[in-house]
Structure 1
Amino acid sequence: MTDEQKSVYLEIIDAVDNDKGGVFFVYGFGGTGKTFIYTTLSASVRSRGSIVLNVASSGIASLLLPGGRTAHSRFGIPINPDDFTVCNIEKGSNQAELIEEASLIIWDEAPMMSKHCFESMDRSFKDIIKGGGNKPFGGKVVVFGGDFRQVLPVIHGASRAEICMAALNASYLWNHCKVLKLTKNMRLLSKDLSPIEAKDIKEFSEWILAVGDGKIAQPNDGEVMIEIPKEFLITNADNPIEAISREVYGDPKLLKDETDPVFFQQRAILCPTNEDVGIVNDYMLDQLEG
């Protein structure tokens, strides 16, 4: 671990070991080792025979956590929560007993969810955990994680202000959250990187952070034209689908000779809509024989 990661780990483990309770938020941009912290915490607590519940806001993120589930699945959070909803957990049920026995709850990608999800969970935990009293989440140690620069709650037809007011840090629970920051990009510490590759990753990471922090073309009023660096642009594209496929996968004529599955695992084209996904996939499949 880095010194930062060790400090975060020790603070959370101390709260678990001494049964202090507490709500923590592990805040860091992509590549700072948040998932590594969750995995290490889970292994440490489980090695003592204690229970850790790992959840995430999305199914994909939950696959990165040991024994991960979506938060909705694990805690029975309502689909459309509001100021008065509670989780679908019956007092005295197996699910309620599991939550009561858990020593640590980790929730990754928390900023994606509406604050009402966390507040519904808080109300339910106070109800089902004996001796929880008025403590947040009934006195459980809860670790949230994520990056507020990334996707905030998706609310259909909402304004910017409404979306911000639905985020976790607009909830009354945020006053009880202790923010633990990770700032070192772990990808730059890899021994497999050449100095040139490390420099490229560092520059790209800093550019992404500047976009996320609103520091591009300052001073600005929150709206600004973002200039994409030239090395990320495909400028000659009579057929855009063919151009991006060639850029990512190389000459289509050579694809039929490619038998290494790792070649395809390391490449992907990200699309904004499922319709675009279908178009790209149809084009790529047409290049393959059979």
Structure 2
Amino acid sequence: MKNVLGPEGPLVVDGVLYFVGWMGNTLSKWDGHRTTVLHTDPACGHNGLALSKQRTFLLACTDDPGAILELSLDGKLLRRWDTTDKGARFVGGINDIAVAPDGGAYATVFGPYDGVGPPGELMGKVLYLAPGAATWREVACDLNYANGVGVSPDGKTLYVSQTVSGSILRFAVGPDGALTHRANFALLDSLVPRRNPSPWLGPDSLKVDRRGDIYVAQWFGGKILKLSPQGKLLRVFRIAAGDGTTNVAFDAGERHLYVSVVKDARDPKAVGSVVRVENVR
């Protein structure tokens, strides 16, 4: 997919590629022949995308204050959340969403970002929606621009990327979805050389495969980093289509990666694409 305005949130469902455009405010699908826009909302800033156990989409709206949408596979709005269980708005914008093996879901709150200014107030959070619950609750706070989020295959570990600090955190997940034992999991500058001096160079969204390996998109880095559950760098996938890698998804057999990437991370229009690369083990 080319000429996507703010490519993000790739997701493969039943052989169909879904993706969003945060600058275009769209959710689209590509069936191998044509692209179809399924949902638009000019006040959303479509970002992370996840598939629930009910086979609906959970969509992150990154426009501040953010929102979380539940959509049918054909793009129909089923539900919208604008606040936590305490009535707090999603100030800082919702960035990414991941669904746990038990059907619960986690979402990240990012922070103030206009594409040109330096990082601002630390307001990153992790929110949790328990299986069958009606509201999201805060389970972690004071994160340095919380971005990607992923859950281990056994549901016992949560990974959260902090874009500005260039780090990925690890949490232990409790039976009620609560997070404990916050720890540093990976520091990107210790794994790969910095490609750009931008303070925004860091981990963007991430995904966890069936083996428990973590795939991290590096904004301003032009690459996907594959890490073991112990934080060891296993492989670097260099993405020729641009330096603004934002997210990654797998096909059904995890043989290929679908990578959303902005050609030039400094481009205010964030023009980019979704590309497919072989997932080398």
Judge same fold: TM > 0.5, yes or no.
Answer: no
Q: Which has the larger radius of gyration?
A: 1
| TM-score when normalising by structure 1 | 0.26
Considering fraction of residues, name the structure with more helix.
1
Q: Larger RCO: Structure 1 or Structure 2 (Cα < 8 Å, ≥ 6 residues apart)? A: 1
Considering fraction of residues, name the structure with more strand.
2
